[in-house]
Structure 1
Amino acid sequence: MDIEGRMILNRFQSKADDITIERVINYPSGSQDYVPYLQQLSSLQARVVLLSATEEDADHIFRDAEALNLTGEGYAWIVSEQALTSAYVPEGTLGLKLSYGTNEKDHLADCVSLIKQTVTDLFNGTLTQISDTPNSCKSTSSFWQAGNAILKALLNAKLEKGRTGQIAFDSAGDRLNPVYFFQNIQVVNGRKSAENIGFYGNPKVISNALEIDESKIIWPGKKTTRPSGINISTELKIVTLESVPFVYTRKMTESDACNWDRNERLCPLVNETTGIKEDYCCWGYCIDMLIQIADMVNFTYSIHLGSSGEFGSYKKVNKTGEKKWNGVIAELISKDADMIVAPLTINPERAGHIDFSKPFKYQGLTILVKKTATESKLDSFLQPFEDTLWILVALSVHVVALVLYLLDRFSPFGRFKLAKNNDTEEDALNLSSAMWFAWGVLLNSGIGEGTPRSFSARVLGMVWAGFAMIIVASYTANLAAFLVLDRPEASITGIDDARLRNPNEDFKYATVRNSAVEMYFKRQVELSTMYRQMEPRNYRTAEEAIKDIVNMKLQAFIWDSSRLEYEAGQNCELITVGDLFGRSGLGVGLQKKSPWTSKISMAILKLHEKGNMEDLDNKWILEGRNDCPEKDTTPATLGLTNMASVFLMVAGGIIAGIILIVIEIAYKRHRGLKDKELELARNAADRWRGNIEKRKLLRETWDYIKVLKDKEAKVAMAEETKDSKQALSFN
């Protein structure tokens, strides 16, 4: 490539924004062998060759190109004016020829006229004299002031009626309205001739009109239809990633092979660290879709798994700040793959570097969480009331019992007063009976005895009964409410949940790193806080994150709705929450300006029209879903976990009763021993007292007998005396 060719290339690159230059081949001018340079063309995808060469170099280039079969059907050669005059120029070659390009006399005449007009205008204007020019152009000590003014005047000059047409220049010094003829090398009557097929420019006005009659063009291979300009290989390299249910994978064994009846296809994986190739089988939604598209568009393919396991993101790779794509996107850009067939999200960042087909599935982002049930603790039956309220209720029972006892004790109509009358059979209300009454009313148990008798105590009893009714009703209602709250439900409500916007250390959420979801959070200003929270926790694959959701190591996973809805359908412990956000589509990724883009898009649209995509949804996403109720409509039921504490309370009551009866028995035995000792002492005292009484009685008896004997003795003596007196008297 000569200097003129490089200038043409630079202008072409700056103006042709929608044209991709696959390779620039520089060759040495004057060489006799151009085969090594031309062989590079055969390995390229492009079939449009732009050649800038002299007539002599073009002779050798065209001869070598024809020998390599690079000038036949499918190719298009666009050459410079000198190359167009080569004797070996192939049929179908296109080139530009400058109008009046070989008429030097007319060009010189226009040049002299333009300079004359410019200099005249300068001397009639600001430039009155011209200083001497410098001795050397390399000298920096002197500057020719007039030269700059003359150059500026020449660039702004305009010659309306020149021999070669209107003359004017742009800022670079190129002619604004040159007229080029498009010529096509055709064989007419066995002879090659350059036929005009159009022109570029207008000699009458300063414009760049382009007119080409394409029907007059004869293309290489004597074709009348324009070639595609690209070598479309029908053997495509497909890269994919495991993403259930779109792509399933399993590792092959020595005795195993992919089951083609199940639409399994071989998809080897090259380990990124060891470089070892491992064979896998791939199947699923995307593989079925690829098989159908390949049949419709007519291409063959080989599938491999992305070695990085990531979709790809645009990130800095070194300290210079240079950004590059990674993941399967990088494979597409580096042309290691022709197509990405996976659940690849279409977004602006990726669309700037690769092409996308029409979406094969529309979706959004959603959040996957595990249903959480409140753990029933041993004190769960106490949940309806706060601890303070329970303390006040227990205190109220004893206060009311004490007041009831006092009211009934000091009332003139209480049982203490009436108990003095022999007519009443009721016992007086003691403190124990008052306590029993208060607890019985609160717990709604029958009160058989021990009720207050006085009017004042009965008024308090009625008020206490009303209080107990309100407390019991409130407890029952709150217990039912807490039972409903114990149902398994989602822990968050959606993307605007406060636990996502302002999370604590115990609440973790994440997505997949280097994915479209991560890029979505990164570019959304209102989600920047969430992005900073997620970035260090993001997972390598969705499978790892879902596994941690099930194991409660991760509280929320943000990912594509189609995948998460599938997972929620397979596992009833999982649920997607909130409305969809970040709506997008899944598409097939292709190389930028790939010739397959429109064909793949048309095939996908036809699959939508035929209902094939709906069939794939039913087969891979909807089929096999568990019948998980969206919401439990059955009444809340109490289980052992809810009421275990009540049974423990009963067991505690039984144990307390046993302990108390043991204490009572021990107390009774202790009291019995004392009573026995008292009884023995009492018996001994009674016996001693009896003995004393006996002795006293015996003594009194003896004394009485003695008295009687004395009386009898006196009577006897008296009678003897009387008898003796009578005897004396008789004597």
Structure 2
Amino acid sequence: MEEYISGTNLTSLISNLTSEARLLARVYIIHAGIEDTDELLTAVVRLQQLENFVWIINEHVLVSNSSALFDGILGVKLHSSFTEENLLIDATQLIMNTFSKFIHHPPLFWSEKISVLNCSSMQSWSYGRDVFQAFLNSSVEGGITGNISFNEGGDRIESLYEIINIQHGQLTVVGTYRSNTSICTTSSMCREVIDRTELKLDEDQIIWPNGLNRKPDGVHTRRNVSVVTIVEKPFIFARPGNNCDPLSEVYCTHKNLNNSNGEEYEQYCCYGYCIALLQELSKNLSFVFTLHLVADGKYGSFEKDRIDQQKRWDGMIGELINYQADMIIAPLTMSPERADDIEFTKPYKYHGITVLVRKNHSTSNLGSFLQPFKGELWIMVLLSVHIVAFVLYLLDRYSPDRLRFASRQDKKLETNSSVDSEDEEDPLNLSRALWFTWGVLLNSGIGEGTPKSFSARVLGMVWAGFTMIMVASYTANLAAFLVLDQPKTSISGINDARLRNPQDNFTYATVKGSSVDMYFKRQVEFSTMYRTMESKNYLTVDEAISDLRDEKLNAFFWDSPRLEYEAAKDCDLVTAGELFGRSSYGIALRKKDAWINPLSHAILSFHEKGFMEILDNHWIYAKQFE
């Protein structure tokens, strides 16, 4: 609703009736005096703003028989079956009842000398509100026109209004409107009021301006929408050229502010998350669009004018407010500062702020399996293997039992006696002893070549017990070393001490003038962090991520979808900590734009059908390592 003061800006209002902003509204309610209304309606006829418009005027002008009134105008008039004399009698009685209370309880102005008031003046009387409230609290019981009492708005309870349509220069009743009705439980005045209204309207009987019988839509919805966006992976990609894929790409232009090559506009093919969303919205809501990239490459930040303290926005928001674009579709965060001057649809993507850092690579090498034991211990293990093997060889070769057995075998051979198969086994030689000790150590299983003598077998059992304890200790230590050797992020999140207590050798930043920058600025708990990175902030996200890869920057704060996308396609980058500063992305339009509700309903429908999840998986979380 727009308000104007008589005699001050009516001329400017008439001169701007054909502006783009006013042409979007098609229903006008005129609550003004006869002279101002006549001037305004005369301008309406001159500017041919009749067809598809709705003009509603007040009762004072409606019954004035003004020559400026034209067919199709609507108005509301109080219905009365009583004469003006009867109404005047009841009004006089109401005034007497009200002022009789002033006699018993004098108000502040009762003793003051009051000059004659000009009823046509736009200035209000300082005690006018008190007098008005006194009339609201007064009543007349059993008046000629019935009981008289008022609701909080000053309307008479149980009043009946006629809805008037001017047809062929005559006032034609096309409906009625009954205000609050009351319930009387006793014969006294009705004080128990039911807040109920009743409207009866015959729309088929109404003749609209310019003689139309079809009811206007009430708003003018643009079907050709100018859309501005900004390059921001993975939401908007732009490649030079005009040979665009009609299925997944959209032709877009960029105004060259430098104009070094003599061309005012550069041609691109745009694609990405937001382009897929825009194409689906266009198909569902039946509108066409033209797309261009923001000229200065900024999302939008404001500075207050030193003279009039008005906000001056740049970037995409500046283009939207200055009517250089009708819609912003980009990863634009819905922040309080922006919502003061533009309007957002329902969110199409929820997100938070996170931090992107380089991943610390593991320093493991081929000899890392030796880390569980010290070098001296490994030397002792190797010596033990060979010493035990040599002792086993000696015990098995030179044990007394083995020597007596060998002597009996020699005698059997001299007498050509048969030799048992088990007696044909030779004693453990040095190579077999080494094989046995290594096999027991590595748990490879020994099928043959085991010690034969009792003493050698006892030593073998002792060696097996020793190796079992040693292998168990090695396995436990190796697991611990593998866990400790996992690469860790350089910081743990927003509460990391290196962020809260800035150090000279640890730098972090965000994008200057962005929603993330404004978030840190307005959060008191992050004031130290904001002052630290204020002078280090970057102009674009790509510059910051490039410096992060080159180790010129230690940490970068930005919206989680972009950073998750970067971490998914680059193995050297990783997001750290939990999300904070949760917010959402929305499509931005000017205040009270007719497209707000249709776009919001379509976005909610996309969420329900899973279309937004498909876009998330395809454009953000898909791993495509470079």
With normalisation by structure 2, the TM-score equals 0.65
Residue aligned with 1:572, SS: coil
Of 326, 339, 343, 1:338 maps to: 326
Distance change in 2, residues 1:276/1:175 (3 Å):
farther
The answer (yes or no) to whether the contact 1:167–1:175 under 8 Å persists in 2 is no
Distance change in 2, residues 1:497/1:123 (3 Å):
closer
Distance change in 2, residues 1:58/1:348 (3 Å):
closer
Per the alignment, residue 725 of structure 1 pairs with none
Per the alignment, residue 358 of structure 2 pairs with 370
Of 254, 263, 275, 1:268 maps to: 254
Q: Deviations over 1:376-420 (max 9, x none)?
A: 9xxxxxx99xxxxxxxxxxxxxxxxxxxxxxxxxxxxxxxxxxxx
Residue 556 of structure 1 and its aligned partner are, at CA, apart by: 0.3
Count of aligned residue pairs for this structure pair: 502
User: Map of 1:497-536 to 2, 5 A cutoff?
Assistant: 497-536=496-535
Tell whether 2:289 aligns with 1:290. Answer: no
The answer (yes or no) to whether the contact 1:168–1:177 under 8 Å persists in 2 is yes
Of 227, 237, 241, 1:238 maps to: 227
Tell whether 2:76 aligns with 1:96. Answer: yes
The answer (yes or no) to whether the contact 1:178–1:203 under 8 Å persists in 2 is yes
User: Map of 1:593-604 to 2, 5 A cutoff?
Assistant: 593-604=592-603
Of 237, 249, 256, 1:248 maps to: 237
Distance of 2:592 and 2:309 partners within structure 1: 27
Segments of structure 2 that go 5 or more residues without pairing to the other structure are 119-126, 183-189, 365-370, 373-472
Corresponding letter in the other structure for 1:45: L
Per the alignment, residue 163 of structure 2 pairs with 183
Residue aligned with 1:579, SS: strand
Per the alignment, residue 49 of structure 2 pairs with 70
Q: Deviations over 1:477-517 (max 9, x none)?
A: 99999999787542112222211121211111112222222
Distance of 1:193 and 1:148 partners within structure 2: 34
Distance change in 2, residues 1:319/1:297 (3 Å):
same
Corresponding letter in the other structure for 2:26: R
Per the alignment, residue 318 of structure 1 pairs with 306
Distance of 1:491 and 1:507 partners within structure 2: 10
Per the alignment, residue 195 of structure 1 pairs with 173
Corresponding letter in the other structure for 2:217: S
The answer (yes or no) to whether the contact 2:77–2:164 under 8 Å persists in 1 is no
Distance change in 2, residues 1:218/1:526 (3 Å):
same
Per the alignment, residue 490 of structure 1 pairs with 489
Per the alignment, residue 28 of structure 2 pairs with 49
Distance change in 2, residues 1:259/1:59 (3 Å):
same
Distance of 2:15 and 2:333 partners within structure 1: 43
Distance of 2:221 and 2:26 partners within structure 1: 10
Per the alignment, residue 368 of structure 2 pairs with none
Q: Deviations over 1:1-44 (max 9, x none)?
A: xxxxxxxxxxxxxxxxxxx43x859689999xx99676569962
Percent identity over the alignment is 39
Corresponding letter in the other structure for 1:369: V
Residue aligned with 2:277, SS: helix
Residue 96 of structure 1 and its aligned partner are, at CA, apart by: 2.1
The answer (yes or no) to whether the contact 1:314–1:325 under 8 Å persists in 2 is yes
Residue 234 of structure 1 and its aligned partner are, at CA, apart by: 0.9
Residue 48 of structure 1 and its aligned partner are, at CA, apart by: 1.0
Residue 46 of structure 1 and its aligned partner are, at CA, apart by: 0.8
Tell whether 2:61 aligns with 1:83. Answer: yes
Corresponding letter in the other structure for 1:78: I
Corresponding letter in the other structure for 1:283: Y
Per the alignment, residue 140 of structure 2 pairs with 159
Distance of 1:349 and 1:211 partners within structure 2: 42
**Which structure's CA Rg is the greater one?**
1
Per the alignment, residue 407 of structure 2 pairs with none
Distance change in 2, residues 1:50/1:319 (3 Å):
closer
Distance change in 2, residues 1:324/1:64 (3 Å):
closer
The answer (yes or no) to whether the contact 1:510–1:534 under 8 Å persists in 2 is yes
Corresponding letter in the other structure for 1:575: V
Residue 243 of structure 1 and its aligned partner are, at CA, apart by: 0.4
With normalisation by structure 1, the TM-score equals 0.56
Residue aligned with 1:213, SS: strand
Residue 93 of structure 1 and its aligned partner are, at CA, apart by: 2.3
Distance change in 2, residues 1:267/1:361 (3 Å):
same
User: Map of 1:88-237 to 2, 5 A cutoff?
Assistant: 89-99=69-79, 103-118=83-98, 120=100, 157-164=138-145, 179=159, 181-185=161-165, 187=167, 192-195=170-173, 197-199=175-177, 201-202=179-180, 210-216=197-203, 218=206, 220=208, 227-237=216-226
Segments of structure 1 that go 5 or more residues without pairing to the other structure are 1-19, 139-145, 377-382, 385-473, 628-731
Q: Deviations over 1:590-627 (max 9, x none)?
A: 22332212222333344445554344344433446129
Residue 576 of structure 1 and its aligned partner are, at CA, apart by: 1.5
Distance of 1:600 and 1:50 partners within structure 2: 27
User: Map of 1:414-429 to 2, 5 A cutoff?
Assistant: none
Q: Deviations over 1:24-70 (max 9, x none)?
A: 59689999xx9967656996211112235666886786566456442
Distance change in 2, residues 1:100/1:340 (3 Å):
same
Per the alignment, residue 620 of structure 2 pairs with 621
Higher relative contact order (CA 8 A, sep 6+): 2
The answer (yes or no) to whether the contact 1:165–1:203 under 8 Å persists in 2 is no
Distance change in 2, residues 1:310/1:60 (3 Å):
closer
Bigger mean CA deviation after superposition, 81-90 or 553-562: 81-90
The answer (yes or no) to whether the contact 1:268–1:303 under 8 Å persists in 2 is no
Per the alignment, residue 432 of structure 1 pairs with none
Per the alignment, residue 566 of structure 2 pairs with 567
Residue 84 of structure 1 and its aligned partner are, at CA, apart by: 2.4
Per the alignment, residue 462 of structure 1 pairs with none
The answer (yes or no) to whether the contact 2:355–2:577 under 8 Å persists in 1 is yes
Corresponding letter in the other structure for 1:577: A
Distance change in 2, residues 1:276/1:96 (3 Å):
farther
Q: Deviations over 1:275-320 (max 9, x none)?
A: 9843241222212221221122111112222234332346645387
The answer (yes or no) to whether the contact 1:309–1:540 under 8 Å persists in 2 is no
The answer (yes or no) to whether the contact 2:351–2:560 under 8 Å persists in 1 is yes
Q: Which has the higher helix share?
A: 1
